[in-house]
Amino acid sequence: MINALIVMGGIGFIAALLLGVASRVFYVKENPLIIEVEEALPGANCGGCGYAGCHAAAVAIATGKAPPNICVGGGPEVSENVAAVMGMKIVAKEPELASTECCGGDRAIEKFDYDGIQDCRAANMLFGGTKLCERGCLGFGTCVASCPFDAIVMGPDRLPIFLPDKCRGCGNCIRNCPKGIISLISSTAKILHFNQYSECLAPCRQKCPAQIDVPAYIEHIREGRYKEAILTIKERNPLPLTCGRVCPHPCEEICRRGVEDEPVAINYLKRFVADWEMNQDKHLDVSVAASTGYKVAVIGGGPAGLSCAYFLRRLGHKVTIYEKMPKLGGMLRYGIPEYRLPKKILDWEIEGIINLGIDVRCNVKFGEDFDLEFLKAAGFDAVFCGIGAWASRDMKIEGEDLQGVWDGIDFLARFHLGDPPKIGKRVIIVGGGNTAIDAARSSLRLGAEKVTLMYRRSRDEMPANELEIVAAEQEGIEMLFLAAPVKILGQDGKMIQVEYIKMRLTDPDPSGRRRPEPIPSSETLIEADTIIAAIGQFPKIDFIREGKLISNLKITKWNTIDGKESTLQTEIPYVFTGGDCFTGPAIAVDAIGAGRYAARSIHFFLTEGEIPPVEDRQTKLIRETLFESVEGLTHVPRAHQPELEVNYRIGNFEEVEHTLTPDAAKREAERCLKCGLICYNRELLEAMGREMASVGDSAEAKKE
C-alpha cells in the first residue's frame, strides 16, 4: 500500500516537475492581442472567413495577415469590435454578395433522365450534370442547403434566388456549387465589369451600349421587386428616367421574342420602374465605395459626363463636373424637347446623381474660364473630357445669313435658356435625323401653321427613330423626301422663299449604299419664313490653345477627340474621353456606356497606374445566341404606353407618352423569354442533341 502511494506520488511528482520545467523552458510568448481578438470574435468556428476556426482567424488578424473585418458570421458589430482591439477603424466595407448569371432553370434542355441523388454535386459527377448547357445551373439546390444564413431560396423554375439582404458573402454556396457559376461580387467589381464573350449573355444585353442586365431587371419587375430592378439598371445606367423616355432601344431590335412575336417593350419597362422610383419621391440608396482620395474632373455634364462622374463617384473617387451651360444634362436638356423629356424629370434624375457627393460648376467653359493647367493646379489626378458634339453643320448654300435661318441645336437649346425661338408660320426643317424631327415637332408646338421636313434621301434611309417619324407624321408634319435646299431667297434681310432641287438615289454602289444625286433643272421654289438646318453635328473643338498643355490633344480628321478605343485614353495620359466628342453624334445610351468605360479606365489608371484591357471583351453579337425561331410561343400583344391625343399635343409641350400601369408592366415582363446562352436556342440544342446521340451510338458500337 505504502509502496503504491509512493510510486504513484513519485510518478505524479516527476510528471508535474517535468511539465513545470518544460513549460518554463519551452515557453512561447503568446501574443495577448490574439486572445483579445479571439474574445471579440463570435466563436462560432463557422469557417466562413476561410480560416480553420475563430482561433486561427484571430491569429491571422493579430499578425496582420487578415483584415479585422474578415468575420462573415458576426456582421458589422463584430468587425467594429475587432477593429477596436486592433486599434483600427472600419470604414464601411463594401459588401460582396453572391449572385449567378444563369437564367436557364427548368427550361434548359436535359441531356438524360437523372434519377439519382437530388444534389448538384452528385449529379455533376455523371457527365457534368443533366443540363445540355455546360454552364447552366443544375437546380438541385445544393447552394440553398449550404447557405448558413438562409440567403438563398429556390425559385419556381428551379433557379436559386439570392436574397441580398441576408447574404453575408461567406462563400459557402460558391464552394459547394460544382458548376462554379456562383460568384461573390462587390459593387465596385460590378461597375468595372464589361461583357465578355465567355459569359451567358442574352442578345439584349449584348446589344445595349450600356450593357444593362435586361433579363435580370425584367425578372425583378415581374416579381414586383422594383427596387432591385432599379438597382440592377443603375449598375449600368444612372439615367433610367431619361433613357426610359428617349432611348431608341436598340435592345428591342434584337429581342428574340421579336422573331416570332413583337419584341418585349424593354424600354417601357425601364421607364416604368424609373417612374416608380420617382413617384416614391426618394432616391434609392446606391452603394458608394470608401473614398480613395483621388480627384477627377469631368468636363461636360451631358450623358457621358454624368455617367462617368456617377460611376467614378461610386468607385470612391472625388468628382467635380464642369459645365458650360447654366444647368447639367447636355443634349438631354438642351437638345431633347420638353414633350419627350420633361425637364422636371431630368432635374430629379440629375439631383440623384449629384447627391452622391459630386461637385458641380456650371457656366464655365473649357478653354476660356478654365484649362488643364488650372485643373492640375487644383489637384485633379485625371480628367474626363465629354464635351459632346455641339457644332452644327452648315448647309453651305446662298442666303444662310438671312433672318429666319436657324441651326437645329441652337434652335432646340433656346427653349431651355429662357429664350424660346421666334419662328414664322411656314417652317422648313432640313435633315432626317432625330434633331430634325425634334425641331419639326417643336415648331409645331410653337405655333407654326405648316411644317415641312425636307430630306435628301427617302423615308427608308431616315436615321431618326421610327417611332419619332410616325409621331411626326401623326402630328401632321409634311415630309418632302428626295429634296435638298440650294438657295434661300430673302427680302429686306428676311427670308421668304427656299429654292430646292429634287434628288434621286443612285444604284447601290459596291458598298451597297445608294447616294442621292440632284436631278438636273428640277429646281422648285417653296414659300417659307423659317428654315432650320439639322443636317449633322460634330464636336466643337475650340478650346485648344497653342503653347498650353491641351495642345497635345490629338484631333481626328472628323473633328473628334482622338483616343485609344480600348481605354478611351487620349494622347495626354491623364485625359480620357468618350461619348459624342469621341465617336461623333450617337445616342444617349452610347454616351452612358462610354462614360462607364472611361470611369473604369480612370479607376485603374489612378489606383494601379496602368489600365488592363477587358479580357475577351464582347463587342459583336454572339452568333449562337441569335436563334431564328422559338417553338411553342403564343402571340401575346406588346404593351403600349398611353399617349396624349394628337389634337391635344399641338401648341403645348406636355409629355406625350405616359407610363405603364403596374399590371401592364407585369404582363409585359412576363413576355420576356429570359434568353440565355443556348438554353432558348432550340435549333442549336437540337443539333447538339444529335451530336450527343451520335457520340453515344459510336460508343455503344465500340462496345459491341
Partner 1 sequence: MEYILLIISAVLVNNILLAQYLGNCPFLGVSKQMDTALGMGTAVVFTMTLASIITWAVHRWILAPFDLVFLQTIAFILVIASLVQFVEIFMKKMMEPLYRALGIFLPLITTNCAVLGVALLCIKKEYSFPQMVIFSFASGLGFALALVLFAGLRERYAISRIPKALEGTAIGLITAGFMSLAFFGFKGMT
Task: Kindly give the pairing relationship between strand 575-577 and strand 516-518.
Answer: unpaired
Q: How far is the CB of 117 from partner 1 (least distance, A)?
A: 5
Q: Tell whether residue 377 is a contact of partner 1 (CB under 8 A).
A: no
Q: How far is the CB of 221 from partner 1 (least distance, A)?
A: 36
Instruction: Report residue 329 as a C-alpha cell.
Output: 444634362
Answer yes or no: are the C-beta atoms of 533 and 431 closer than 8 Å.
yes
CB atoms within 10 A of CB 186: 16
Query: Which one of 11, 362, 467, 687 is in contact with partner 1 (CB under 8 A)?
Result: 11
Nearer Cβ to partner 1, position 19 or 470? 19
Q: How far is the CB of 50 from partner 1 (least distance, A)?
A: 14
Q: How far is the CB of 610 from partner 1 (least distance, A)?
A: 38
Nearer Cβ to partner 1, position 118 or 198? 118
Nearer Cβ to partner 1, position 26 or 165? 26
Over the window 294 to 313, marking each residue x when it contacts partner 1 by CB under 8 A and - when it does not, the resulting string is --------------------
Nearer Cβ to partner 1, position 3 or 355? 3
Q: Tell whether residue 16 is a contact of partner 1 (CB under 8 A).
A: yes
Q: Tell whether residue 8 is a contact of partner 1 (CB under 8 A).
A: yes
User: 316 in helix, strand or coil?
Assistant: coil
Nearer Cβ to partner 1, position 113 or 492? 113
Nearer Cβ to partner 1, position 158 or 487? 158
Q: For 588-638, where are the alpha helices, taking DSSP H only?
A: 588-608
Q: How far is the CB of 111 from partner 1 (least distance, A)?
A: 19
With CB under 8 A as the contact rule, which of the stretches 25-33, 369-377, 489-497, 561-569 interacts with partner 1? 25-33
Q: Tell whether residue 12 is a contact of partner 1 (CB under 8 A).
A: yes
Nearer Cβ to partner 1, position 20 or 224? 20
Instruction: Report residue 200 as a C-alpha cell.
Output: 451567358
Nearer Cβ to partner 1, position 141 or 203? 141
Q: Tell whether residue 22 is a contact of partner 1 (CB under 8 A).
A: yes
CB atoms within 10 A of CB 586: 16
- Taking only Cα atoms into account, the Rg of the chain, rounded to an integer number of angstroms, comes to 32
Q: Tell whether residue 28 is a contact of partner 1 (CB under 8 A).
A: yes
Over the window 67 to 96, marking each residue x when it contacts partner 1 by CB under 8 A and - when it does not, the resulting string is ------------------------------
Q: How far is the CB of 25 from partner 1 (least distance, A)?
A: 8
Q: Which residues are CB-neighbours of 162 under 8 A, at least 6 positions away?
A: 97, 98, 99, 100, 151, 152
Q: How far is the CB of 125 from partner 1 (least distance, A)?
A: 9
Cα separation, 84 vs 219, in Å, equals 42
Cα separation, 325 vs 370, in Å, equals 14
Q: How far is the CB of 625 from partner 1 (least distance, A)?
A: 33
Nearer Cβ to partner 1, position 17 or 687? 17
User: 405 in helix, strand or coil?
Assistant: strand
With CB under 8 A as the contact rule, which of the stretches 6-14, 216-224, 459-467, 676-684 interacts with partner 1? 6-14
Q: How far is the CB of 58 from partner 1 (least distance, A)?
A: 14
Residues 551-590 that bind partner 1 (CB under 8 A): none
Cα separation, 234 vs 306, in Å, equals 13
Nearer Cβ to partner 1, position 47 or 244? 47
Q: Which residues are CB-neighbours of 9 under 8 A, at least 6 positions away?
A: none
Nearer Cβ to partner 1, position 137 or 309? 137
Count of residues that bind partner 1 according to CB under 8 A: 23
Q: What angle do CA 480, 476, 331 make, to 5 degrees?
A: 80
Query: Which one of 69, 81, 130, 142 is in contact with partner 1 (CB under 8 A)?
Result: 142
CB atoms within 10 A of CB 577: 29
Nearer Cβ to partner 1, position 16 or 695? 16
Task: Kindly give the pairing relationship between strand 530-533 and strand 537-538.
Answer: unpaired
Q: How far is the CB of 142 from partner 1 (least distance, A)?
A: 8
Tell me the one-letter amino acid at 279.
Answer: N
Residues 51-70 that bind partner 1 (CB under 8 A): 52
Q: What is the dihedral of CA 526, 532, 536, 537, to 10 degrees?
A: 160
Nearer Cβ to partner 1, position 28 or 701? 28
Over the window 99 to 138, marking each residue x when it contacts partner 1 by CB under 8 A and - when it does not, the resulting string is ------------------xxx-xx----------------
Largest CA distance in the chain: 139
Nearer Cβ to partner 1, position 16 or 92? 16
Q: Tell whether residue 519 is a contact of partner 1 (CB under 8 A).
A: no
With CB under 8 A as the contact rule, which of the stretches 26-34, 203-211, 284-292, 620-628 interacts with partner 1? 26-34
> Long-range contacts of range 458-465, CB-CB < 8 Å, 24 or more positions apart?
458/482, 458/505, 461/432, 461/514, 462/432, 462/433, 463/432, 463/433, 463/434, 464/432, 464/433, 464/434, 464/436, 464/437, 465/248, 465/434, 465/437
Q: How far is the CB of 100 from partner 1 (least distance, A)?
A: 20
Q: How far is the CB of 18 from partner 1 (least distance, A)?
A: 6
- Which run of H or E residues covers position 22? helix 2-25
With CB under 8 A as the contact rule, which of the stretches 16-24, 302-310, 325-333, 571-579 interacts with partner 1? 16-24
Distance, first Cα to last Cα, the chain = 82
Answer yes or no: are the C-beta atoms of 269 and 218 closer than 8 Å.
yes
For 136-242, strand residue ranges (E) read: 152-154, 160-162, 182-186
Per DSSP, the residues of 425-475 read SEEEEE-SSHHHHHHHHHHHHHT-SEEEEEESS-GGG--S-HHHHHHHHHT
Q: How far is the CB of 69 from partner 1 (least distance, A)?
A: 25
- Residues 8-29, buried b or exposed e (16+ Cβ, 10 A)? eeeeeeeeeeeeeeeeeeeeee
Q: How far is the CB of 329 from partner 1 (least distance, A)?
A: 56
Question: CA-CA distances (angstroms) from residue 703 to 112, 484, 697, 700?
Answer: 20, 76, 10, 5
Nearer Cβ to partner 1, position 8 or 646? 8
Nearer Cβ to partner 1, position 15 or 467? 15
SS (H, E, C) 141-152: CHHHHHCCCCCE
Q: Tell whether residue 44 is a contact of partner 1 (CB under 8 A).
A: no
Q: Tell whether residue 26 is a contact of partner 1 (CB under 8 A).
A: yes
CB atoms within 10 A of CB 524: 12
Q: How far is the CB of 167 from partner 1 (least distance, A)?
A: 22
Q: How far is the CB of 123 from partner 1 (least distance, A)?
A: 9
Nearer Cβ to partner 1, position 18 or 417? 18
Q: How far is the CB of 173 from partner 1 (least distance, A)?
A: 14
**Residues contributing to the site for partner 1 (CB under 8 A):** 3-4, 7-8, 11-12, 15-16, 18-19, 22-23, 25-28, 52, 117-119, 121-122, 142
